[in-house]
Amino acid sequence: MSQAFTKSMARNIFYGGSMFFFLLLLVLTFDTVESLPQTDNRENLTAQVAKGKHVWENNNCIGCHTLLGEGAYFAPELGNVHKRLGKEGVIAFIKFRPKNGIPGRRSMPQFNLTDDELDAVAEFLKYTSEINTQNWPPNIQG
Amino acid sequence: MSKKQLMTTKITKYPPGEIIIWLFIMAELMVFGLFFAAYAVTRIDNIELFELYQQNLDTTAALYNTIALLSSSYFVVRSVIAIKHNQQQDSFKWMVLAIIMGLVFIIIKTDEFAHHVSNGITLSTNTFYMFYLSLAFFHYLHVILGLIILSVIARNINKGAYSAKEYTNVETGASYWHMVDLVWLILFPLVYVM
Amino acid sequence: MKYTSQMVAKPYFIAAIGLFVGQILFGIIMGLQYVIGDFLFPEIPFNVARMVHTNLLIVWLLFGFMGASYYLVPEEAETELHSPILAKLMFWIFLIAGAATILGYLLVPYATLAEITMNDLLPTMGREFLEQPTITKIGIVIVALAFLFNIGMTILKGRKTVINLVLLIGLVGLAVFFLFAFYNPDNIVLDKMFWWFVVHLWVEGVWELILGSLLAFVLIKTTGVDREVIEKWLYVIIAMALITGLIGTGHHFFWIGTPGYWQWWGSIFSAMEPIPFFMMTVFAFNMVNKRRREHPNQPAVLWALGTGVMAFLGAGVWGFLHTLSPVNYYTHGTQITAAHGHMAFYGAYVMIVLAIISYAMPMLNGRKAANSAKSQIVEMWSFWLMTISMVFITLFLTGAGILQVYLQRMSDNPLPFMVVQDKIELFYWLREGAGVVFLIGLIVYIASFFIGKDEAEPNEA
């Protein structure tokens, strides 16, 4: 009787195990997509919010900031910035960035957004701040 | 096979089966153990919610399922003993019986899941259902995997691949199947009865 | 070298190292911007430098994977590459597309780049690591398909080894999961969720298959240990990688608007993700201890051992530190994540590519098996310089992260982000210092290709 652990057994564990957990991932993914309407705040996903997401993307905001904790860690979290600054505060902050930065400080570029784009990105951040994130971040500072 | 034969069958090596399967069984029990512990701790915090929704579970179905898995495990034991005595036909017969009892479990459990789905219950319904469905479904997938393993072994027994000299794979599959059974024996009282 | 078509690997390796240098230079720039906020502003804002830093990393690792495949697949399959011409053509297409994209990042504002590449037709830009213009993404898919075709045909007509098979599965997975990069819904939660199907299922999924097969190849070649043993290890390691890593995806679904149950699923499974990396370390040392020969190429063995240890530390230990949801609640999106990311990428993927380059380059340069003793010593110096400085980068970022978590998220009076950043400035200075040492290590590494170039190789002991 052979006691040796054979290669074909190792192979079966690999194929069997990966298929098993891939299927499980598919099932959980399906369940998540089905239940997202309860948490993702989609009832407030207006055309302006969608537009704001494009403004957000086209200016690579994620290159410095985090959004719900994902992104770069160079500048503040923006998932809850709406709660921190309010819509007008957000717009004013983006609008009045000095073109050449602030000497010696981390500086946000002047993106020259139109008023409509400013409104859109602020709406997008308002929408994001209302997503159910299981109470993350721990406090208002993000 | 006589009762005497059953008694005199010695364990020739320890642990039985491939050593790697025991590492996997340990890993599996660790994962289930973590889930069980998490369930128990969360239950203490939400005792009313859990007790309320536990009443909605079909304890009778779960009892049938317990019997199905227990008898299935017994049949697997008989299959291993038979192969150790070179009785390939008996071994095959017992293995098929074990698979049939496993399928009974799957049918009953699928019906239970279908019942939940038709009532619109998902993982996100509440904390109790999150745990119950996660645990039950994760175990359910293990039963399916175990059945696939047993089926492959049954086919090989039928082809004459195993004998009294070479039965490691039968023991390996049997060990895995007992683990699946064991997990259910914890899951059943913890989730349905307690 | 057994097959002449293996030569196509050489330009891939050279390009990989060249882009690696670029990546590190931009890393140094970013490190400086962390402490001197307006450094190079507004010419190279931080987001641009970061985009270049991360995209160069991905592109050079892909170059490394492709070069490694072109080197190893013919040797394993015992046949010439299906089409060396196609491989050369794809090299230039990929290099030019990559260079054009990086220049695009640097020369025009990102919004302008989005406009001229017509991002609105199929918006895919502006998401972390997937910043490439849509047209570049399509180019990547075309290059990947041509590459897979070339490799697949070679494997099909030759000997089918486990290493080739696992490598192929990994590469196909890489291409398939990249397709999620084209899915960019307006719903940010869906967007984030499926974004991880690229990022997580790459680095904590199929890339581990590539890593495993490259490591197995280098170990077979340098230790002479029986193929059966190594292949068995390979299967078990990648099985554990996927068993833990697939559901481990859940550790990214804690706080992005996905259901709460992921905190359980994600914590439990990702807590086991160190297991395959630990096995990889044991594997590498075991095989080297059981070696049947002393391979004359010592640095290649060193890189192979190094990747085992550093991947376990970076991906395994530093990953575990913040993967449990109650911990991650406080550490999510802080310098802790940055610390983990740096060491994990270096240990798992940078080092394995350098290992295969180290093993293959002497042969690609017409040598029998190894560089001269002098060159090897220089290369081993670069190993220690880069590896130790990466350990320090990780430690300093961890220090910064712990303070950040405490001051910004846990103390009685949580401070604003920028106030905290000022308070932890010292750690960023130290990190930048370690980064400079890393760059020096990289320069030494490149020097090793030129030092002792004309001297004979050491004899096999």
**Residue C249's closest chain A neighbor by CA?**
A25
Q: Per-residue pLDDT for B29 more than 70?
A: yes
The CA distances from residue C105 to A71, A106, A112, C60, C117, in Å, are 18, 20, 18, 17, 12
What was the pLDDT predicted at B20? 75
What was the pLDDT predicted at B16? 80
Q: Considering chain A, what is the average pLDDT of its residues?
A: 94
Q: Are residues A50 and A20 in the same domain?
A: no
From chain A, the residues in CB contact with B149 under 8 A are: 16
**Probe site for chain A from B135, B138, B168 (most A CB atoms < 10 A):** B168
Binning pLDDT at 50, 70 and 90, where does residue B23 land?
confident
Q: Where are the domains of chain B?
A: 59-193
- Tell me whether C37 touches chain A (CB under 8 Å): yes
The phi and psi torsions of A70 (rounded to 5 degrees) equal -110, 135
Q: Per-residue pLDDT for A2 more than 70?
A: no
Query: Mean pLDDT in runs of 10 for chain C (461 residues)?
Result: 94 98 98 96 96 98 98 97 97 96 97 96 96 96 97 96 97 97 98 98 97 97 94 95 96 97 95 94 93 94 97 96 97 97 98 98 94 96 98 97 96 96 97 98 97 84 47
Q: What is the tally of structural domains in chain A? A: 2
pLDDT in tens, B87-132: 999 999 999 999 999 999 999 999 999 999 999 898 888 989 999 9
- Provide ipTM, 2 decimals: 0.96
What was the pLDDT predicted at C321? 96
Binning pLDDT at 50, 70 and 90, where does residue B1 land?
very low
- Tell me whether A30 touches chain B (CB under 8 Å): no
Contact B31 C260 (CB under 8 A): no
Quote the distance between the C-alpha of residue B53 and its chain's center.
Answer: 25
Average pLDDT over residues A65-72: 98
Binning pLDDT at 50, 70 and 90, where does residue B7 land?
low
Half-sphere CA count of C318, side-chain side, radius 13 A: 30
Q: Are residues A47 and A109 in the same domain?
A: yes
Binning pLDDT at 50, 70 and 90, where does residue B5 land?
low
Q: Are residues A78 and A50 in the same domain?
A: yes
Task: Identify whether the C-beta of residue C342 lies closer than 8 Å to the C-beta of residue C314.
Answer: yes
**Residue C209's closest chain A neighbor by CA?**
A14
- CATH of B59-193 given 1.20.120.80, 3.90.226.30, 1.10.260.40, 3.90.1150.10: 1.20.120.80
Q: Which residues contact B63 (CB under 8 A, 6 or more apart)?
A: B188
H or E element at residue A26: helix A7-35
Q: Are residues A51 and A116 in the same domain?
A: yes
What was the pLDDT predicted at C438? 98
> The domain containing residue A15 runs over which residues?
1-38
**B121 burial level (CB within 10 Å; 0-12, 13-18, 19+):** middle
Contact A63 C47 (CB under 8 A): yes
